[in-house]
């Protein structure tokens, strides 16, 4: 029998080549290998690209696309799916006002009203959140920020503004007809800056209450995100209103897609927006002769509630179907409930939103899906809304009915 060992050796060698080639091809196309390849991009291929492979362009890239979370305790208690847009996860000022602040600045840049690193300064009158967002984004884009705010707002807000490098003026609360009211003062400061030859750059009044950049930010961002995240399957949207830009912008977008959607305003004590929605008149009982207080909106809730008509609210008012009044006590109890049952530590306006969303769920009955907003963290409200408020233990010792009791 002839010696065939050389043929066996040659066959084994060729089989090894084939197997090695097949294994190499499979390994290089595997998901894990693709992932490793993506971690080492060709720099020349991406040269000039503002954003790729999940890398965001500056802090502005962290604004928007916030998650929609299910509030488990409220959903289980009502039989409805109560979802909250986690707006406190916006990456600049950690509130929905990030969207507005960026929109205002981008619009001003497009109109040639702001030039980076020229000394241009953005002026705004705010109770806190818009100012914080503006201060952060101004720093990121080469501008200064000057913020006027009432002196009865939580001190954490002005402290944070100062740490962000903004100039802060805390002024006594006053009605809008007073030229020293915080919004009017910010407008005046912007004009003074522009007219002063000794100051670099010019002043821009952000005008969050009236600028269309406000509601358009939510029409272009928040509304579409909610629609996509729910696959268009929702029954109601609930939100408080300060400037009115959020509820108007979201309503304008969602009602185009879902005409049967119920849009509901959540309104705190002292605000006239409830009556504006229900009866078409901006009025609150504290406006009665002999009962007017120093503060028109006398509440511990900050960021929502107002006693004057704004363009941002009016642009979407006819799309708001109903309104729910929420007391300070209800908001405080809801904030505690959310910590104790869900580990959610929120601010006052978020608590108001959740009271109204839960009230609406009780009215609609089980099986509905309701979306609201968690606006900012309770860490911004420690000295006022959360002052002297203790959180209970892990035992369930409070009913939701007691939380909702007016």
Asked about 97 being catalytic, the answer comes back as yes
Please name which of 139, 112, 99, 133 lies closest in space to residue 202, comparing C-alpha atoms: 112
**pLDDT value at residue 349:** 96
DSSP sequence for 105-137 = HHHHHHTT---TTTT-EEEEE-SSHHHHHHHHH
Name the architecture of domain 97-205: 3-Layer(aba) Sandwich (3.40)
Angle at 184 between CA 183 and CA 189, to 5 degrees: 100
Structure confidence by residue, pLDDT tens digits, 96-137: 999 999 999 999 999 999 999 999 999 999 988 999 999 999
User: Could you tell me which residue, 340 or 30, shows the higher pLDDT?
Assistant: 340
Q: What Rg, from alpha-carbon coordinates, does the chain have?
A: 27
Q: With contact defined as beta carbons under 8 Å apart, do 316 and 255 qualify?
A: no
pLDDT of 398 = 75
Catalytic residue among 85, 97, 144, 384: 97
Q: Tell me if 391 sits within 8 A of 103, measured CB to CB.
A: no
Domain 61-89+218-404 = CATH 1.10.3720.10: no
Q: Are the beta carbons of 239 and 373 closer than 8 angstroms? A: yes
Angle (deg, nearest 10), helices 5-29 and 31-38: 60
Per-residue confidence (pLDDT) for residue 47, from 0 to 100: 40
What mean pLDDT, rounded, does the chain reach?
Answer: 87
Per-residue pLDDT at 8: 56
Across residues 331-343, what is the average pLDDT? 95
Residue-level pLDDT at 335 = 95
Predicted local distance difference test score (pLDDT) of residue 399 = 84
Tell me what pLDDT residue 13 has. Answer: 55
Specify whether the CB–CB gap between 126 and 153 falls below 8 A. no
Mean pLDDT of 356-363: 98
Handedness of CA 289, 295, 301, 304 (dihedral sign): positive
Q: Determine the average pLDDT of the residues in 258-280.
A: 96
Domain with CATH 3.40.50.1100 in the chain: 61-89+218-404, 97-205
Residue 243 Cα distances to 170, 215, 257, 305, angstroms = 20, 9, 24, 9
Mean pLDDT along residues 146-155 = 93
Tens-place pLDDT, residues 192-241: 999 999 999 999 999 999 999 999 999 999 999 999 999 999 999 999 99
- Of residues 396 and 46, more confidence is placed in 396
What per-residue confidence (pLDDT) applies to 43? Answer: 36
pLDDT at 329 over 80: yes
Check residues 348 and 16 and name the one with the higher pLDDT.
348
Residues sharing a CB contact under 8 Å with residue 130, sequence separation 6 or more, in sequence order: 97, 100, 101, 124, 206, 208, 243
Q: What is the pLDDT of residue 103?
A: 98
The better pLDDT of the pair 185, 154 is held by: 185
DSSP string, 69-102: EE-HHHHHHHSSEEEEEEGGG-TTTSSTHHHHHH
Contact 133, 93 (CB under 8 A): yes
Per-residue pLDDT, 247: 98
CB within 8 Å of 397: residues ≥ 6 apart: none
Are the C-beta atoms of 380 and 128 separated by less than 8 Å?
Answer: yes
Token representation of residue 270: 């002292």
Q: Which helix (H) or strand (E) holds 168?
A: strand 167-171
CA torsion 326→217→127→292, rounded to 10°? Answer: -50
Distance CA 277, CA 265 (A): 8
Q: Which helix (H) or strand (E) holds 252?
A: helix 245-257
DSSP per residue, 312-345: HHHTTGGG--EEEE--HHHHHHHHHHHHHHH---
What is the rounded average pLDDT of the residues 37-64?
63
Check whether 267 has a pLDDT greater than 90: yes
Give residue 54's pLDDT. Answer: 85
Mean pLDDT for 334-358 is: 96
Task: Report residue 266: phi and psi, to 5°.
Answer: -105, 120
What is the tens place of the pLDDT at every residue in 227-255? 999 999 999 999 999 999 999 999 999 99
Element (H, E) at 274: helix 273-279
Q: Tell me if 108 sits within 8 A of 101, measured CB to CB.
A: no
Count of alpha carbons within 13 angstroms of residue 348, beta-carbon side: 30
């Amino acid at each position: 029998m002839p010696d065939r060992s050389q043929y066996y050796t040659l066959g084994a060698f060729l089989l090894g080549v084939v197997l090695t080639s097949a294994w190499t091809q499979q390994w290089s196309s595997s998901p894990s290998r693709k992932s490793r390849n993506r971690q080492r991009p060709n720099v020349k291929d991406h040269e000039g690209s503002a954003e790729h492979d999940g890398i965001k362009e500056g802090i502005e890239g962290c604004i928007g696309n916030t998650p929609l979370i299910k509030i488990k305790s409220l959903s289980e208690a009502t039989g409805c799916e109560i979802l909250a847009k986690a707006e406190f996860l916006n990456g600049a000022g950690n509130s929905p006002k990030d969207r507005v602040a960026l929109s205002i600045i981008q619009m001003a840049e497009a109109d040639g009203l702001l030039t980076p690193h020229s000394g241009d300064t953005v002026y705004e009158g705010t109770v806190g959140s818009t100012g914080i967002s503006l201060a952060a984004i101004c720093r990121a884009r080469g501008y200064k920020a000057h913020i006027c705010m009432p002196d009865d707002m939580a001190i954490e807000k002005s402290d944070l503004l100062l740490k962000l490098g903004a100039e802060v003026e805390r002024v006594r609360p006053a009605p809008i007809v007073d030229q020293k009211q915080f919004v009017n003062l910010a407008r005046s400061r912007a004009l003074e800056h522009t007219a002063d030859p000794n100051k670099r750059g010019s002043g821009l009044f952000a005008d969050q209450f009236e600028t269309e950049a406000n509601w358009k930010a939510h029409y272009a961002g928040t509304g579409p995100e909610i629609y996509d995240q729910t696959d268009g399957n929702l029954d109601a949207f609930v939100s408080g209103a300060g400037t009115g830009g959020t509820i108007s912008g979201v309503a304008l977008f969602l009602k185009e897609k879902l005409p049967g959607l119920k849009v509901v305003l959540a309104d705190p004590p002292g605000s006239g927006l409830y009556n504006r929605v229900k009866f078409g008149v901006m009025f609150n009982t504290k406006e009665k002769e002999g009962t007017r207080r120093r503060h028109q909106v006398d509440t511990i809730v900050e960021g929502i509630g107002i006693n004057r008509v704004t363009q941002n609210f009016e642009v979407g008012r006819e799309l708001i179907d109903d309104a729910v009044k929420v007391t300070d006590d209800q908001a405080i109890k809801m904030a505690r409930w959310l910590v104790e049952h869900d580990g959610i530590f929120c601010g006052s306006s978020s608590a108001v939103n959740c009271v109204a969303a839960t009230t609406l769920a009780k009215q609609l009955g089980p099986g509905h899906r309701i979306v609201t907003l968690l606006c900012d963290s309770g860490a911004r409200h420690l000295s006022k809304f959360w002052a002297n408020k203790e959180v209970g233990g892990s035992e369930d010792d409070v009913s939701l009915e007691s939380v909702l009791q007016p």
